Structure 1
Amino acid sequence: MNSDELTTTVWELDEDEFPSDGSIREWAQFLLRYAILAPSSHNSQPWRFAVRDGRIQIFADDARWLEVADHDKRELQISLGCAIENLCTAAAHFGFGYRVEYDDTIDAVDGDHIATVTLHPDGTPSNTRPPGLFDQLTERYTSHDLFEDRPLPQSTRDILRQCVFDGDVSLHLIEDSDRKRSIGELQAAADLRLMDDREYRKELGYWLGIGALGQSWLMARIAQAVVTTFDLGNRESQNNSKLIRSAPVLGLLVTETDAPAARIKTGRVYERLALAASANSVATHPMSQILELPEKRDELGTLAAIGDGVPQHLFRLGYTDEPKDHTPRWPLEKGPLDTTVTFRDGSYRLSEPDRKRRHCRPELAASAPECVHPRTTAPVASVHDAPRTPRL
């Protein structure tokens, strides 16, 4: 997938264009146009899809794995869960029943296949979600703004809680100002540690440089140079700590285990929450830095008083009047849809060229033409030109 193909036009979906007289394959591909609108860390979009009859297979694209920031693939798996939830929300809207099956070999070192969603045109659509979520698939966005000093009404919090019906995932809403202040301090410490790591900055700079966050060609490369060259830890820690404290509510998704399937379900729940929040004019903003450091992750669990649970996903909830700003996506036809998937011995695998590409890292792209991402370079610029650190 070429970075020049990133576009925001994918958000301009018209449900009236659904091919009602088409084949089940055409139906599935139309639904996948909603799946690719899911959020992902650094907007890395680490998903690939294959359609076989009424089955949609979801794969992890390891070429888009953030090896430094996301060493254990927690964020990658949460991102995949978000895409699955978008797909299921769209399927239910268009009248499909569906079944989601998670791959029980997900822990395997060479396991690509994450899940299969099977569409049932004559099935009963799921009605467990709060109403109005489908309309938010093209409206949801991530806010990086300070939130207004305005509490979330109880009715809104009740709607958010209705989004959590996966038995393995629980939602903790944190409103106590002292606890939020302590989490803000933990956030600052995590930012300082991460931004002190040159490899972390190099990885972040790469995604900024290809324009994944929607900047112009010039600004993207300036941002890459600044983030890669300078330690912006002090600035990031102060900014993000303020963002934490400004939120009337912090959300924390917790699971019973740290297994990949639990993380994928976390992503599904988060996306459901984000869509419901958007339907109620509430902005959302994932904050992943604390969770990227094992000792800080443990401290967060203690601060949030979650007992024996595993903290998986921290995010802000609040109100802002900032304009909605969608980040670009690679269109379905430009890479996310895989037409060469093979089926062997009951397991799904990407084609050999895709498997080679999947293992290419940005650092190797200059010498490996089959890699997904071209390496980019940028001039050194002022520290003040750098954008905020992107999140999911």
Structure 2
Amino acid sequence: MDPAAMTRDVWRVDADAYPAGASVDEQIRFLLRYAVLAPSSHNSQPWEFVVGNGYVGVEAAEERRLSAADPDGRELHLGLGCAVETLRIAAHRFGVGCVVHTFDEGPTVARIDLGPACNPHRDGRLFDEITERYTDHRPFDGPPVSEAVLDDLREHAASLDVALRSVDDADARESVGDLQRRADRLQADSPAYRRELAAWIGSGALGASGLRARVGRAVVTHLDVGPVEGRRNAKLIADAPTLCVLSTADDTRGERVNAGRAYQRIALAASAEGLATHPLSQILERPAERRSLRSVLGIDGRPQHLFRVGAVEGRQEHTPRWPADAVTSTAR
């Protein structure tokens, strides 16, 4: 995939342009314009969509896999789950019913079968945030997220058999911060990790372009950024109005996809409340630190996603994406 083909224009989707009277194939391809706006680690956009007769198959784009940061594919599957849920929400917005299937084996990670008309239920407000949501790396302001909002976020997670827990205890926050510092240092000690991150920064996928992207790539490649990043991220954890972790009973591919689906619902619901989200993935990228996080927080299942939620002044620019047509093919 040519990085130069990524564009921020994809965020300007006109819902009024939905081809209601067109073929199912045309409708699916329009809905995929929303799916590609889903978040993913390093903005790697690890999805390939295969359009069949009334369904969409979702496969992993191996060339966009983060082999150093994500060797077991957890973050890849989370990203695919985010895209799946975005497509489902968009389909419901236009009255298209759909059923999501996940698969623990084989090239097709998920399949969305589009069916008869449905009622949009509570997804309407989530749909409105698809083109508004963004990941914010800045410090968050304001008080902790209210219990009413947290209960809503928990419901979104529970609907997919995913548990959401907020980390409120100061000692637990400090322990998570210690894990973050260690994970950042260990990741930065890996030349392969630094090369991979530098390549994504240099591609412009993380938002910087031109000279800024080249400088960022050089800094990550040649300087020891681990201690600095660790301190910065540990402070973000300590100061976060609300810190959350998503977990699943086990660690199957389908459960990871559902954790991604849950996170996208949560991110959209938070956006509807004027809140931003920011994943912190380094702890979960290190097997030992992931196990430690599970122990520190007393999680019975498997932690899948750690993220901050809070308010922040102003908006950040959306990151660019490859257009839907570039990541879509027709089933043979």
TM-score by length of 1: 0.82
Q: Is the 8 A contact 1:281 1:319 kept in 2?
A: yes
Match of 1:169 among 162, 171, 190: 162
In the TM superposition, what are the counterparts of 1:285-364 in structure 2 within 5 Å? 285-307=278-300, 309-333=301-325, 335-339=326-330, 341-342=331-332
Distance 1:276 1:252, change over 3 A: same
Partner Cα separation in structure 1 for residue 228 and residue 314 of structure 2: 21
2:112 alignment partner in structure 1: 117
Distance 1:62 1:50, change over 3 A: same
SS at match of 2:278: strand
Equivalent residue letter for 2:314: E
Equivalent residue letter for 1:337: T
1:216 alignment partner in structure 2: 209
Partner Cα separation in structure 1 for residue 158 and residue 95 of structure 2: 21
Partner Cα separation in structure 2 for residue 10 and residue 94 of structure 1: 19
| Structure label with greater radius of gyration | 1
1:87 alignment partner in structure 2: 87
Partner Cα separation in structure 2 for residue 328 and residue 5 of structure 1: 9
SS at match of 2:109: strand
Equivalent residue letter for 1:118: D
Match of 1:154 among 132, 147, 156: 147
Q: Is the 8 A contact 1:185 1:241 kept in 2?
A: yes
The reply to whether residue 265 of structure 1 matches residue 258 of structure 2 is: yes
1:235 alignment partner in structure 2: 228
Q: Is the 8 A contact 1:130 1:159 kept in 2?
A: no
1:180 alignment partner in structure 2: 173
Question: 1:131-151 CA deviation, whole Å, 9 max, x = no partner?
Answer: 510000000000101111412
Q: Is the 8 A contact 1:188 1:238 kept in 2?
A: yes
Partner Cα separation in structure 1 for residue 290 and residue 97 of structure 2: 37
Question: 1:106-134 CA deviation, whole Å, 9 max, x = no partner?
Answer: xxxxx3211111111x332453x465100
The reply to whether residue 3 of structure 1 matches residue 13 of structure 2 is: no
1:56 alignment partner in structure 2: 56
Q: Percent identity?
A: 45
Question: 1:196-244 CA deviation, whole Å, 9 max, x = no partner?
Answer: 1111100000101111112122211221111111111111011111111
TM-aligned CA deviation for residue 280 of structure 1: 0.3
In the TM superposition, what are the counterparts of 1:94-105 in structure 2 within 5 Å? 94-105=94-105
Q: Is the 8 A contact 1:168 1:255 kept in 2?
A: yes
Structure 1 window deviating more from structure 2 (158-167 vs 219-228): it is 158-167
Distance 1:12 1:167, change over 3 A: closer
Q: Identify, as 1 or 2, the structure richer in helix.
A: 2
Partner Cα separation in structure 2 for residue 264 and residue 102 of structure 1: 8
Match of 1:274 among 238, 242, 267: 267
TM-aligned CA deviation for residue 272 of structure 1: 0.3
Equivalent residue letter for 1:319: A
Partner Cα separation in structure 2 for residue 238 and residue 228 of structure 1: 19
SS at match of 1:133: helix
Q: Is the 8 A contact 2:103 2:253 kept in 1?
A: no
Q: Is the 8 A contact 2:199 2:217 kept in 1?
A: yes
2:195 alignment partner in structure 1: 202
Aligned residues: 332
Partner Cα separation in structure 2 for residue 149 and residue 280 of structure 1: 13
Name the Cα RMSD after superposition: 1.3
Structure 1 window deviating more from structure 2 (245-254 vs 26-35): it is 245-254
Distance 1:104 1:188, change over 3 A: closer
Runs of 4+ residues over 6 Å off in structure 1? none
Partner Cα separation in structure 2 for residue 312 and residue 50 of structure 1: 26
Q: Is the 8 A contact 1:193 1:233 kept in 2?
A: yes
Q: Is the 8 A contact 1:149 1:246 kept in 2?
A: no
**Runs of 5+ unmatched residues, structure 2:** none
Equivalent residue letter for 2:154: R
